[in-house]
Amino acid sequence: MGKSIFHRNVSGFGMDNNETKRLNGLIKHFEKGRFAELIPLFEEFVKTHPANATGWNLLALSHKNLGNIEKARTLFEKFLQNDPNHPVLLSNLGNVYRSIGRLQDSVTCYKKAIKKDPNMFNAIEALGMSYTDLGDLEKALSCYKRNTELDKTHQLARYNVANTYRKLKRYEEAVEEFELTNYKNGESHQLECLYLLGDEKRFKEKYLKIENSGKLDSLIGCLGSHAAIRYQTPFKNPFCSNAMDYVLVDKITAEDGLTQELMDKIIEHHKGNLNDYLSQSLLKNGKQSSGNLFLLEYDFIKALEQILIVKVEAYRQKFQTNDEGFIKNWPDKYFLYGWLVSIENGGNLDPHIHKEGWVSGSLYFNVPKKDGSDDGNIAVSLNGANYPKDNKDYPGKVVEINKRDLCMFPSSLFHYTIPFESEEERISFAFDVIPTQ
């Protein structure tokens, strides 16, 4: 999600010096993260100064930072009714829209903000992210390149350019751009580009460097497992060397809180056309929700989140004595990122991993009736994503799933769905455990 923006050390707006000092004092408390105690103070402030954009912005952002996404949305929209071209509030409203999957609405907001302020770095970056989610990678690349022109040293801007080159399969350009940034998992993505280029020498050199640095993420784990087979070389895998051993299937019952009514409400929301579907090239004859559904303030979403948090902890506890890196280095803080996938007759989801995740899961709301076949099941493998196989054999297996089953596994493991023929939809709620940076 795009970075939120607020003003520091403001003055004017019809305020006297005491009121200006008061607002600047509130801003200092905001920067210290005292959001809950600030909300009534900001509410009082905007009543006195209803035209003050900074007050409205910080009130909305306080709610947003506390997870009150819908309240933040209504506050941004309310102020923009009177000042529809305020670039900061437009950009921040766009961030809210994007986080809840209203991608086209977010694009509209960002474009208006950028028209008002053509050098608005955060809005340009966020517009690129929305274009990425909508599948328009060329427009996204244009946004990210614009930001590298505005700030040649900005790490995230360089990362976004590099990562978009990677998605466009312009791997050599991606490698060069990744070399210019230390942002997040840029090194892991650069390693993947070298692997896809077939540059064994540079790949092995880079892998050893990352291994020695102690860096740990699911993409490194995925590449290490695949390369060990492809190159017939024992790579030390810091994330998970035997990911197939950590596939777990559990059942969530109505007694656990997963009632049919709860599932129906989530499915109804998914099909309600309130949000835009994510552009997903791997998904055939299906739809995937966009944004993080756990940011929505609906009781049925919050209820599901609590159910899954319990299951995630149970998964960790089951394997807590094991020596794999993803267990030994389980993140102290994490959040869940969730989305719904519905697949119709003849559809499937191609092999992929979740590169931002630590552990991934899929909860099945509906599975079409099987006639003794694997149709509609989930499969896991050490191969996928068009990685070069070099005529080697890679382990894999089909996992039997039924309605209410929860399948969890390390995020380094490729997974995909078996195509099926049925008038029923296959509906699953997927999620990742993502470490808090």
| pLDDT digits 0-9 by tens, 368-379 | 988 778 999 999
What is the C-alpha to C-alpha distance for residues 349 and 287, in angstroms, rounded to an integer? 10
Over range 25-30, report the average pLDDT. Answer: 87
Of 93, 109, 134, the last residue of a domain is 134
The answer as to whether 77 is a domain residue is: yes
Name the residue among 84, 95, 10 with its Cα closest to residue 54: 10
The answer as to whether 195 is a domain residue is: no
Indicate the pLDDT class of residue 407, thresholds 50, 70 and 90: very high
* Whether pLDDT at 1 is above 80: no
* Whether pLDDT at 119 is above 50: yes
Q: Which residues pair with 130 in a beta bridge?
A: none
**421 or 11: whose pLDDT is higher?**
421
Q: What is the dihedral of CA 359, 398, 376, 132, to 10 degrees?
A: 40
Indicate the pLDDT class of residue 418, thresholds 50, 70 and 90: very high
Over range 308-312, report the average pLDDT. Answer: 98
Question: Which whole-number Å values give the CA distances from 254 to 105, 124, 251, 261, 293, in the listed order?
Answer: 36, 45, 10, 10, 21
CATH assignment of the domain containing 110: 1.25.40.10
Indicate the pLDDT class of residue 432, thresholds 50, 70 and 90: very high
Over range 145-163, report the average pLDDT. Answer: 95
The range of the structural domain enclosing residue 69 comes to: 17-134
**Given this model, what pLDDT does residue 269 score?**
84
* Whether pLDDT at 391 is above 70: yes
The answer as to whether 250 is a domain residue is: yes
Decide: 256 and 307 in contact? Cβ < 8 Å. Answer: yes
**Given this model, what pLDDT does residue 2 score?**
57
Question: Which of 4-18, 35-49, 55-69, 415-429 is least confident?
Answer: 4-18
| pLDDT digits 0-9 by tens, 353-364 | 999 999 999 999
The answer as to whether 159 is a domain residue is: no
* Whether pLDDT at 178 is above 80: yes
CATH assignment of the domain containing 286: 2.60.120.620
The answer as to whether 64 is a domain residue is: yes
**Given this model, what pLDDT does residue 373 score?**
87
* Whether pLDDT at 226 is above 60: yes
**Given this model, what pLDDT does residue 296 score?**
82
Over range 313-318, report the average pLDDT. Answer: 97
Provide, rounded to the nearest whole percent, the portion of the chain with pLDDT above 70. 95
Indicate the pLDDT class of residue 8, thresholds 50, 70 and 90: very low
What is the C-alpha to C-alpha distance for residues 92 and 131, in angstroms, rounded to an integer? 17
Find how far residue 385's CA is from the centre of its chain: 19
Contact residues for 224 (Cβ-Cβ < 8 A; gap 6+): 207, 235, 236, 237, 238, 239, 241
* Whether pLDDT at 139 is above 70: yes
Q: What is the pTM of this model?
A: 0.85
Could you give the number of structural domains in the chain?
Answer: 2
Residue 311: both structure tokens together: 């299951």
What is the C-alpha to C-alpha distance for residues 324 and 375, in angstroms, rounded to an integer? 32
Question: Which whole-number Å values give the CA distances from 251 to 118, 254, 304, 340, in the listed order?
Answer: 52, 10, 14, 18
**Given this model, what pLDDT does residue 160 score?**
96
**Given this model, what pLDDT does residue 3 score?**
61
Residue 414: both structure tokens together: 């490729």
The answer as to whether 127 is a domain residue is: yes
| pLDDT digits 0-9 by tens, 57-107 | 999 999 988 888 889 999 999 999 989 999 999 999 999 999 888 899 999
Of 134, 155, 190, the last residue of a domain is 134
What is the C-alpha to C-alpha distance for residues 412 and 352, in angstroms, rounded to an integer? 9
Of 112, 134, 156, the last residue of a domain is 134
* Whether pLDDT at 163 is above 90: yes
**Given this model, what pLDDT does residue 9 score?**
42
Indicate the pLDDT class of residue 297, thresholds 50, 70 and 90: confident
Over range 396-422, report the average pLDDT. Answer: 96
Q: What is the dihedral of CA 124, 128, 134, 135, to 10 degrees?
A: 150
* Whether pLDDT at 12 is above 50: no
**Given this model, what pLDDT does residue 11 score?**
43
**Does residue 249 share a domain with residue 385?**
yes
Question: Which whole-number Å values give the CA distances from 219 to 187, 190, 275, in the listed order?
Answer: 10, 11, 29
| pLDDT digits 0-9 by tens, 123-137 | 999 999 999 989 999
Name the residue among 151, 102, 162, 99 with its Cα closest to residue 124: 151
What is the C-alpha to C-alpha distance for residues 221 and 195, in angstroms, rounded to an integer? 13
Residue 85: both structure tokens together: 């071209």
| pLDDT digits 0-9 by tens, 252-293 | 999 999 999 999 999 998 887 556 677 777 889 999 988 889
| pLDDT digits 0-9 by tens, 235-252 | 999 999 999 999 999 999
**Does residue 412 share a domain with residue 268?**
yes
Over range 205-227, report the average pLDDT. Answer: 95
Contact residues for 334 (Cβ-Cβ < 8 A; gap 6+): 358, 433, 434, 435, 436
Name the residue among 136, 131, 154, 190 with its Cα closest to residue 355: 190
**Does residue 405 share a domain with residue 281?**
yes
**Given this model, what pLDDT does residue 22 score?**
83
The answer as to whether 303 is a domain residue is: yes
The answer as to whether 204 is a domain residue is: no
What is the C-alpha to C-alpha distance for residues 164 and 125, in angstroms, rounded to an integer? 12
